[in-house]
Amino acid sequence: MWRNDGRKQYTTWPAQAYAEEAAAIVEGHRGRITADRVYTDMGIDLGDSDSPAGTTLRKWCEEWLPSKTRITPGTRQRYEQQLRDRIYPAFGDTPLTQITPVMVGRWLNDLREAMGPKTVTRYYSLLHTALGAAVRHGHIPLNPCHGTDFVRDQVADDDDTGGHRAVYLTPAQYELLRAQFPSRWHPLLDCVVETGTRWSEVTALAAQHLVPASAGSGPRLRVWRAWKEANGRRYLGTTKGRAKRVLPIGADLHATLAGLVAGQPPETLLFRGDDGGPLDYDRMYDRVWKPALHRARLCPEHPPHGEGAPLPGARGRCRDYGGTTWTGQPCGARVVTGTTRCAAHYGPPPGAVSDCDCSGVLHVAPSWHDLRHTYASWLFSDPRMTPLAISRLLGHQQLATTSEIYGDLMPHAIDAAVDAVADARRSARS
């Protein structure tokens, strides 16, 4: 059979009788007939989801997704939500045979206007996977996603978040930040920055994952699981990309971690809350990380600039001296006697930091995940480390993912290309 654009088309049938009838029609037209014409001649309504040619995407996904075995409950829940939010409204009631690359391309362009490339890639990947399974099960001959010119965002398959730009701390900057944390959390910080583990991985580590030094190697840390979430419930599942890895750690870090669980059962978490349970990211970020980061960005000699100023005899309203509320409206509160602002607006705003250039002040604002980026940057700065080795330590499934995320950390490799070519030419002349 042939498509309207002149390309060959293939299809499958659920029963021998259907196939024989279709073959007779095609032979009668000497093969010069489209699949749609064959369906019409056979009396098949393409919109009928009970016909072999009319299975809709919604019906197929409701059959296919529950059959997937190598995904976590959280991933399954996310797929179901993605289907409901964007895929079913666009293709849910469309027969699989009628979904074309043009339709997929237009849908992708519509998504780009509403969301970032990372999210678009996730929707595309799910649709691509679902239609690929439909091809393998004989519902359609080709995956229409292959006919688009969409290029997947490699970074979207990793664990970077939103539009946050990676912050690479120098060793000195890390020590500045670490000094502002209560000593209780120093082992957690050191473990992340010395192993590059993700938050979901490091908080899932237990005593059983510590491997002492042996005759042939130093101490190790098994990163084999991570915290997941489904239906508002947390559970222990596989690491991202199912990449189990065994990481080398220093003797000092091993001794510190071992001391946290000395005499405890093997399943005891290395890092745990006061109740012995797992740490909560949001609570740790708000109560531990943000206060410590704010302290690290304050200079004792150059405090943040405040609003208002002393003014002998100043009276009246805050608005009389330019004071506004957080919505930008004139502030009607009375000024503090002798100043140009009310009590709520006098002095630096909450969260303000110093803007000096003093060396003992942190001038960047990293996140927890930036400790993982910092680990990667320290590895890339060592000429003994290869990109492949770093990729495996980070738990990336593909070297291309490491290159996309940390390509800016490898300029020396790019510059070395000039020397490599020059050396090759020089050897031929000698």
Residue 5's pLDDT is 47
d(CA 57, CA 131): 8
Determine the distance from the C-alpha atom of residue 285 to the mean position of all C-alpha atoms in its chain, rounded to a whole number.
18
The set of residues, in sequence order, having a beta carbon less than 8 Å from that of 149 and lying 6+ positions away, is 105
Where are the extended beta strands (E) located within 214-353?
A: 220-223, 226-230, 233-237, 245-248
pLDDT of residue 282: 93
pLDDT at site 162: 44
Average pLDDT of adjacent 10-residue blocks, the chain of 430 residues: 50 61 76 66 52 78 92 89 96 93 93 88 93 91 87 49 74 96 97 96 97 91 93 87 90 97 96 93 95 93 83 92 87 92 83 86 94 95 91 90 83 68 79
pLDDT of residue 52: 47
Measure the CA–CA gap between 3 and 37, rounded to whole angstroms: 10
- Domain positions in the chain are 45-152, 186-283, 306-347, 385-429
Nearest to 179 by CA among 288, 287, 352, 296: 296
Position 155 scores a pLDDT of 43
45-152 CATH fold: DNA polymerase; domain 1 (1.10.150)
Q: What is the pLDDT of residue 153?
A: 55
Q: How far is CA 107 from CA 164, 170, 424, in A?
A: 26, 43, 49
Site of tokens 């292959």: 146
| 0.75 surpassed by pTM | no
Torsions phi, psi for 101 (to 5 deg): -55, -35
pLDDT in tens, 236-286: 998 987 788 999 999 999 999 999 999 999 999 999 999 989 999 999 999
| Contact (CB, 8 A) for 230 and 401 | no
Taking residue 163's Cβ as centre, other Cβ atoms within 10 Å add up to 7
